[in-house]
Structure formats: structure tokens, C-alpha cells
Structure 1
């Protein structure tokens, strides 16, 4: 939304009014102004989301004297979480499947609702944790202001509800809110519009503006060029995605909110598990808490659990073989690391604990992550076979 003038008008006017009104009404105002801004971009989507949100909020504590027994039981069961999950599947994947069945030239032209992935995962978190009794006391104003918070609605981070309540400062205005918010927004803008543009220019100098453009003339690129473009493509992705997170976190800070961090210098990761503790951290934590732990509880097999979890993470991004393959790529890589770590511990292999080994570990991790970009880089621009061709050509295997 940062490319629209209304977004910047929102950032100037909304925090000003927010701090001028009495503290008791600030959560309501934040809820209202977020809904107004989101309605500007997607009115119909927002109506359905609001309806679902109210069902989840009120369904958790229905009065036994006023509601049928089956409705009260449903509110106390896992039914609300399943309702959110079904909404996510229908909204995110049915339009894609319909287009695939009918063809690109079809009259069917459904659009995926704005922010459906982040909205659904936050609401699932709320439904699950509320049923477990893990959420602090709160009202509808707290719930709506968190769930529909405009700065993080479309691109995250996936803010936990308990974190949101415990880390907001809404009583007294402090100038540091503005200073910290503006500084963080500035960092995001520099990443996106300065550093990101420099990386794109560097890719152009290396012979291709993108991975999918390279795939069209793959035989014209050397092994070094392919690796260089893969690394630069990943660097651009980091700058672009983390820039949105910076802007979202900084914009929220203007309201005295401290949102969860999403990135922590992923290029310094010494292993794939370390990478996923630094990259899109809120999504990784969500998947670990609600998918990985559930699967490992059923299978008692950490290898299958991590592969399935990351495959599902890939499909969370899009119903596409490219994203599914990307998820499996990371899941298999993590499973292999677990096996290696157990072997290294048992046989006291210490190479990667040395200085040279640490540098090697960073290079291997970055290479593995960047190579996986051959899948996502061709999403909607090439076949899955083209992705494998890039990966093979990166090792000098011409096919």
C-alpha cells in the first residue's frame, strides 16, 4: 500500500488524532481507522473477514441460556479454528484452482482477498490460543485493533495477540514513538528504493534483470553468472521483503505499538535452522508452533515433520508446484541438517566450529537458500522443469 498517497496521508493524520483523543477510545479509533483504510482497497473482502472475525470472537463464549447447546459446544471446541482454516483454503486456493481448470482465458476472474494469508494465520492463532486459555483478558476493541492493524495487514509480520497486548504503550504519548517510527520507516524506504534498485542494476550488469529472464536464455550464462544472479536475486528479495517489514513495524510504532521483528541478519546464518531463526521469523515461529509440533506429536518423526511443515509453508505462499517445491527444498535441507548434526555430535566433528568452518557454513547456507530461489523465481513465469534446469546449470550440468 506504500505506493498510494492515501497510505501516507493515513500515517500523518491517524497517529496525530490517535494521541489527541482520550486513552480509553484509542483502541477503538485504531480499529476504525484501520478498517476505513482497508475498505478503500477491498470492501467486499473486508465484509467477509469482519463477519468471520466476529464469529470467532463472540463464538468463544456464548451464553448457555441464550444459545442452543450445539452452538455453545462448537464455540468451546476446535470448530472455530476449522472455520478459519476452511475460509483460508477457499479464499486462497479455489480461485487458483478454478483458473487452472478453466484456463487463463476463462471468464472466471476471482482475486485472492487482500491480506488473506496473514489475516487467516493471525485468526487461527487467536482461536487456538483462546481455546487453550492462553490469552490475557481483552475486549472487542483490542481484538479488532490487533487483527486489522493496517500497517501489518497485507505483508506481516504475523503478530501474536498476547505480544500485541503486552507491548503496546497507549496511555502516555512519548516523542520516542515518532522518532523510532520515522527512523524505521526511513530504513525501509532506503532498502526498497535505493539498495534494492542498486541490486537490480547489478543483476542487469550481470546479464539479466531477473531469474525468469535468465531462464529463457540459460545456455548463454556461465556457472559464475548463474550463481551471481541467484545470490543477487535473494539479496533483492531480502531488501524488498524486509523493507516492507521495516515500514510496517515503524508505522505501528507511531501508535506506540512494538510489533514482533521479522528479520535478523539472515545472511549471517551458519546453518539452515539458524537461517529460519533469522528469516521471516514470525511465519517460521507460527509453523513450528501449530504445524510442526502437531505433526511430530502424531508421527514422532522429526524428519517427516519438518518436510511436511515446510511444504505446507510453501503452499501457504501460493497453490503452485514452484512454492511447494521450494518448501520441500527447505524441509529436506533441514532434515538433512538434523541427521548431520546428530552424526557430527556422535563422532565429535568440529570442523564447522573453527573459523574457516564457520565461514564455510555461512557460504553453504547462503548457497542452499539462494539455489532454492530457482523455484520461486520462476513462479508464474516458467515451468518447474525450468527451475531444475537452472539448478543443474549452476553445477555445470547442461540439459
Structure 2
């Protein structure tokens, strides 16, 4: 059976996160705006800094296109309506506000999926911030004098394109205690250099240019199906973690620490551990606002894990392939949970290095297989790829 998997590295525009939009840091505007923003930031009084950050983010949106500006403006206007005043019925306004954010994001995802709408810079990430603001802070922002800080939080230039997704309270604290520190600045520049090396050298040159240019073919159907998925995963990790390194370093130049987003995810020893290492801030958002509420109401881990991973999948893209990806990971998380909870020897096995190595290998293969669902054009192509990969396990079919 012929495999229709992508070549090594896969496409650039992976999903709604928008790696193409994050390439702003590789453009002339991005490279010049960072030192200018840092210089102005430390020259201005602290009270003006949130407004400068908001202005910097707005300039990036204008650079992305007026469609992005319009979509962001509509969302910010809705947040101003919901979170600005101190409403007499806060619970009702909170429900209305969350419904509005959900409707806007679903409409955006539907337009992308069905009408080929280009991804707006950072819109998927600001939607998570908007949900967090409404769910945890409610109204009264204008009355409390937090308008500038909130705008700076939503439009924070370092994390605008691809995160990490920082909580509002943590952002306010970092903004208040921001001080110029030469050692921190040196570490920030080093971190940004690491990020650029990942994006430009490893993902851009090694995978996308060299390996894709070779158009490697082993002549073995299974390897020709497996290797592109491995290359796709490496490319995906190097690009997203690289851009997050740039964002974390850029924020540190402003005296602000933002949370880590990746922590050696391919070293995870089980699937739960993987999701504590991969896209950490988005995983934590999904845990806090989807998984825990579902688990509290249903008391069913399977339902909560499936629901949270489906939401995470459809957050990336409103499509059948990402729905299948969410179901795949949700079922995997449930199996890992049941194994640890109901198998009496599970804890004892973890003491053995051989079992830990096997668990790591099994987790890695599970993650690589899931890339077949997101690296291909549709579910038909994904099933064809998976059929080749599982053919050796089916007697008489390979």
C-alpha cells in the first residue's frame, strides 16, 4: 500500500497557532522593533510602559494585516464591554462574556477550515487569555485602573504570536517588579540565540531545506511512512520551542519572566508526563478550564481526558483530523491513568530502568503515530499512512 505521508519536516503552516505569523521575528520589522522597544521601555516611566507594550503589539498586528487588526479589535471591544464596568449581575455577564469569546473563536476556526481564511497573528492565544480574564477576573478593570496593564497583557509583543500564555496576575507582578539586570539581559540574549538556531538552522535549514531537498526514499514502505512523521515532529518542536525561546528572551530584556513552554517533551516517560512538557502553558490552560471542571462534574477521568483533548485539538484546527487527534490523545491519557490506578504492579515496575526505558520508547512512538493525523491533508491520508505503519502487526497484510 502506498503511503501518502508528507516528506520530512511537513508543512510550515501547521495549525491555528500560526508558525507563519510567528516568523515576524525573522523579518526586518521584527528584528528592528525588538531593540527599539527595549530602549524605549527602559526610558519611559513605569506607568507608561504597559501602554508602550500595547502599542508595540498593535504595530505587529498592523504588520500582519488589517484583517488581524479588525478581528483583534472586535475581541478587545467585547472584553472592554464585559470586563470594564462593575456589573450588578457578574455571574450572568461572565457567562455572556465566555459565550461571546467561544462564538467568535469558533466562527474564526470555521472560516479558516471551510473558506481558507488565513490565520490571524496570535488570535488563538489571545482567545485563551480572554477566557482566562473573564473566568477569573470578571468586571471592574476600568474602575480599578488596570486598563493599561490589561491591554499590555493582551498585546504583549514577545508572546503575542505563539505564546507562552501567561496568567494576568503573574504578568502584573512581573511588570511591577521589572528592573534592568545585566546578567538577566545576557541570559536573555543567549536564550534568543538558542531560539534562532532552532528555527533557522535546525528546522529551517537542516529539516526543511536539506532533508526535504534530498527527498529521501529508503525503498521500504514502513520506513518511508515512519521517517516523515519523525521529521515532522522534530520540525514542529524546533520551530515552536525556538520561537518560544525568542519570546522568553525578549521578555527577559524587558525585565519580565514568562513561563516555560517546552521541557524536553520527547524525553517523557508516559503520556501524562509528555503533556507536562509539551506546550506547557496551553496544556495548563486546558487542564484548569476544561479537564478539572469536567472531572469535578462527571467524576469520570475518561470523559474529562477525552473532552479536554478534543477541545485542545479543535483549538488547533476545526477539522476531523484534529478531532481524531484529540480522541487519540484523550484515550491514551485515560489508558495511562487506568494502568497506574488499577494495576498493582505498575508502581513496582517504575523502579526498573528497563521498564522506564520501555515506557519512554512506547510514549515516543505513541506521539509520533499521532503526527500522522496532523501532518496529512485529511483523515483518508492519515488512515493510509497508519495502515502502512501497522501492517507488520496484521498477518498476511504486509
Match status 1:385 vs 2:380: yes
The match for 1:102 is none
Give the whole-Å Cα distance in 1 for the aligned partners of 2:372 and 2:243. Answer: 23
Task: Summarize deviations over 1:103-127 as a string: whole Å, max 9, x none.
Answer: xxxxxx6434332211111110111
Match status 1:2 vs 2:25: yes
The match for 2:206 is 198
Match status 1:373 vs 2:371: yes
CA apart distance, 1:95 = 4.4
The match for 1:50 is 73
Task: Summarize deviations over 1:257-297 as a string: whole Å, max 9, x none.
Answer: 21111000112100000000000001110111111122222
Q: Indicate the SS of the match to 2:254.
A: coil
The match for 2:313 is 314
Change (3 A) 1:44 1:228: closer
Corresponding residue pairs, total? 367
Give the whole-Å Cα distance in 2 for the aligned partners of 1:162 and 1:359. Answer: 39
Change (3 A) 1:290 1:225: same
Task: Summarize deviations over 1:75-106 as a string: whole Å, max 9, x none.
Answer: 74321121111111112213423x3xxxxxxx
The match for 1:237 is 236
Structure 2 gaps, min length 5: 1-23
CA apart distance, 1:56 = 2.1
Deviates more, 1:228-237 or 1:115-124: 228-237
The match for 2:172 is 165
- TM-score normalised by the chain length of structure 1: 0.84
The match for 1:211 is none
Q: Indicate the SS of the match to 2:201.
A: helix
Match status 1:362 vs 2:360: yes
Structure 1 gaps, min length 5: 100-108, 209-213, 215-219
Match status 1:18 vs 2:41: yes
Contact 2:82 2:139 in 1 (8 A): no
Contact 2:41 2:49 in 1 (8 A): yes
Q: Indicate the SS of the match to 1:131.
A: coil
The match for 1:81 is 98
CA apart distance, 1:227 = 3.0
Give the whole-Å Cα distance in 1 for the aligned partners of 2:331 and 2:86. Answer: 48
Contact 1:230 1:370 in 2 (8 A): yes
Give the whole-Å Cα distance in 2 for the aligned partners of 1:5 and 1:299. Answer: 51
CA apart distance, 1:176 = 3.0
Map 1:42-191 onto structure 2 (within 5 A): 42-60=65-83, 62=85, 76-97=93-114, 99=115, 110-131=117-138, 139-168=146-175, 172-191=179-198
- TM-score normalised by the chain length of structure 2: 0.84
Give the whole-Å Cα distance in 2 for the aligned partners of 1:18 and 1:181. Answer: 16
Task: State the superposition RMSD in angstroms.
Answer: 2.6
Match status 1:394 vs 2:392: no
